[in-house]
Chains A and B, each alone.
Chain A
């Protein structure tokens, strides 16, 4: 037996010296969103459709052994050819061997083709469950990111996997895969939310839910990281002295300019492009909107229909608008946004 040394580090982002890097092979085992998705998919399938995962493993084994057999045949053939004496045509034995090898290799090749087709078929069936794995992965990274708010919010991967299994086991069964997938997603999201929410300080709860909602929209391809950036920063990074309206303060004006300059969503749509000018056209309505007690609950002047028409990111656009116009109402607008994206249940007070 040979001595083997393994070293592991728990630190997520360690700073190793160059000397150490030269003496060892540093390997990053950190889970990524895509990697975790694949792992969760395998985990889910092995629970949900055990036979499918077993079939896949069996097939892979068959393919390997068949490929090996094929290689062995070829080697044997070459060996024969090299060591045959006299005229090849007189060697009856060799001709027999050739014939069998030809037959066998044909057989093996057929099996390989069959296996390849089956692998594709199984792959397609597995793909049907991918949305669950994708959601699981998104949720895990939401949960893990909470560490940045408070060190106490650490959650381990095994801990999360228990939640993931719970979501699969406790969600209602359904005959159609599509319904089943939907059921698991709902149950899983709810379970993770309730579990994590229980351990959060009151002031961090909205943050967690908001992150969940945004990450889900990003994963669905509706939002981009840039959109979230605009929501967070708004007008903080720009400078514009040409404020058009006296009743507006400078900060709000910058926010509005920032909105007008941002391309929203994956379609890169300048949704609020003419906002600074269009406020002028309906100045009275806009001023009323700005002075509203609960601006997040009343229709937005001018843009209301357009916002409602955007099924994917309409809620987000509304959230950005409220955040830009009335920063004091941002938290309430967030709650509304969470309710629209995740469901009523996520904004109601919970007692557990």
Chain B
């Protein structure tokens, strides 16, 4: 069974390949990950398309309808945005990610949940979407992220009875 190796490869891909460009992603998956699996004696498929493994054609079609470009790199990005357990931070100089996310999450515009880190009261801005379960898009992140977001990013959620609570900046 090659499933173990394939799953390991797909996990490594989603976890580590995000920040890199298409060439380096291929290098990592085809040579580095493959070599590592080989060294540990874990069988994996030689011909293995990670995008096909993680997502089906219908979903990709849906993404494309929402405005995600159809090239391989963008499909990979789509997978990472939707499948990763950590929140996505997208490097998006051409605005392609934003236009996709805006179509994907109609609530963002309906409920006016697109903000920047410079809003006067970040805590208040976080409160409502967290309580209501809305999506939230923070635009124009510079090199730093407000430490107030840390508990959120780390998903420091406590479960009290049937409620799930998170503590943000006291």
Which A residues lie at the B interface, using CB under 8 A?
A: 1-12, 14-17, 20-21, 23-32, 34-36, 38-39, 42, 57, 60-61, 63-64, 156-158
Given contacts A5-B138, A5-B152, A20-B145, A60 and B90 within 8 Å (CB-CB): no
User: CB distance A8 to B139 under 8 Å?
Assistant: yes
- Contact between B141 and A27, CB atoms less than 8 A apart: no
List of A residues within 8 angstroms of B92 by Cβ:
8-10, 29-30
Say yes or no: is B36 at the interface (Cβ < 8 Å to chain A): no
Report chain B residues within 8 Å CB of A64: 56-58
* Known A-B contacts A5-B138, A7-B89, A26-B89; A31 and B143 likewise in contact (beta carbons under 8 Å): no
Residues in B neighbouring A27, C-beta threshold 8 A:
18-19, 77, 80-81, 88-91, 97
In the complex, the answer to whether A38 meets B69 with C-beta atoms within 8 Å is: yes
- A6: which of B130, B136, B143 is its contact (CB, 8 Å)? B136
Given A28-B20, A35-B22, A39-B69, verify A8-B136 contact (CB < 8 Å).
Answer: no
B72 lies within 8 A of chain A by Cβ: yes
Q: A15 to chain B: which residues have CB within 8 Å?
A: 143
Beyond A28-B18, A60-B61, 11 additional contacts (C-beta under 8 Å) are A4-B87, A4-B136, A7-B89, A8-B140, A20-B144, A25-B88, A27-B89, A28-B20, A29-B90, A38-B72, A157-B95
Tell whether A3 pairs with B143 under 8 Å between CB atoms, given A28-B20, A32-B21, A38-B70.
no
Contact A8 B141 (CB under 8 A): yes
Contact A29 B89 (CB under 8 A): no
* Cβ A3 vs Cβ B129 within 8 A: yes
Given A8-B97, A14-B91, A24-B89: A32 and B138 interface contact (C-beta under 8 Å):
no
B52 within 8 A of A: no
CA distance A64 to B98 in the complex (A): 28
B50 within 8 A of A: no
Quick check: A28 and B71 within 8 Å, CB to CB?
no
Q: Are A11 and B61 in contact (CB under 8 A)?
A: no
For the complex, give the distance between the alpha carbons of A8 and B14 in Å.
18
Closest to A21 in B: B19
Query: Do B80 and A60 touch across chains, with their CB atoms under 8 A apart?
Result: no
Contact A10 B93 (CB under 8 A): yes
B96: interface (CB < 8 Å): yes
Q: Which residues of chain B are near A14, meaning CB under 8 Å?
A: 91, 141-143
B170 within 8 Å of A (CB atoms): no
Q: In whole Å, how far is A112's beta carbon from the nearest beta carbon of chain B? A: 13
B side interface size, CB within 8 A:
56
Q: How far is the CA of A32 from the CA of B90 in the complex (A)?
A: 15
**Contacts A4-B135, A24-B87 known; A63 to B153 CB distance under 8 Å?**
no
Is the CB of B103 closer than 8 A to any CB of chain A? no
The answer to whether B27 has its CB under 8 Å from any CB of chain A is no
Known: A3-B135, A39-B69, A61-B58. A30 touches B88 (CB 8 A): no
Chain A proximity of B170: nearest CB distance (Å): 20
Distance in Å from the Cβ of A61 to the closest Cβ of chain B? 7
Q: Pick 14 A–B contacts, CB within 8 A, sort by A.
A: A8-B140, A10-B140, A12-B93, A14-B91, A17-B144, A25-B81, A25-B87, A26-B19, A26-B90, A29-B77, A31-B96, A35-B71, A42-B70, A61-B58
Instruction: Name the residue of chain A whose CB is nearest to the CB of B166.
Output: A3
State whether the Cβ of B30 lies closer than 8 Å to any Cβ in chain A.
no
- Could you say which of A1, A8, A10, A158 has the most chain B C-beta atoms within 10 Å of its C-beta? A8
Q: In whole angstroms, how far apart are the Cα atoms of A4 and B155 in the complex?
A: 11
Contact B95 A6, beta carbon cutoff 8 Å: no
A8, B19: Cα distance in complex, Å? 13
Q: Collect the chain A residues with CB atoms within 8 Å of residue B73's CB.
A: 32, 35
A6 and B129 form a contact (CB under 8 A): no
Q: Could you say which residues of chain B place their CB within 8 Å of the CB of A10?
A: 92-93, 95, 139-140
| Interface pair B96/A157, CB less than 8 Å apart | yes
| A35 and B61 contact, CB distance less than 8 A | no
Whether, in the assembled complex, B118 has its beta carbon less than 8 Å from a beta carbon of chain A, the answer is no
- Taken together as a complex, chains A and B put the C-alpha atoms of A25 and B17 apart, in Å, by 9
In the complex with contacts A27-B80, A39-B70, A9-B95 CB distance below 8 A: no
Whether A28 contacts B19 by the Cβ 8 Å rule is yes
Q: Are B22 and A9 in contact (CB under 8 A)?
A: no
Known: A20-B145, A28-B19. A157 touches B94 (CB 8 A): yes
Q: Report yes or no: B91 in contact with A11, Cβ–Cβ below 8 A.
A: yes
Residues of the B chain whose Cβ atoms lie less than 8 Å from the Cβ of A38:
69-72
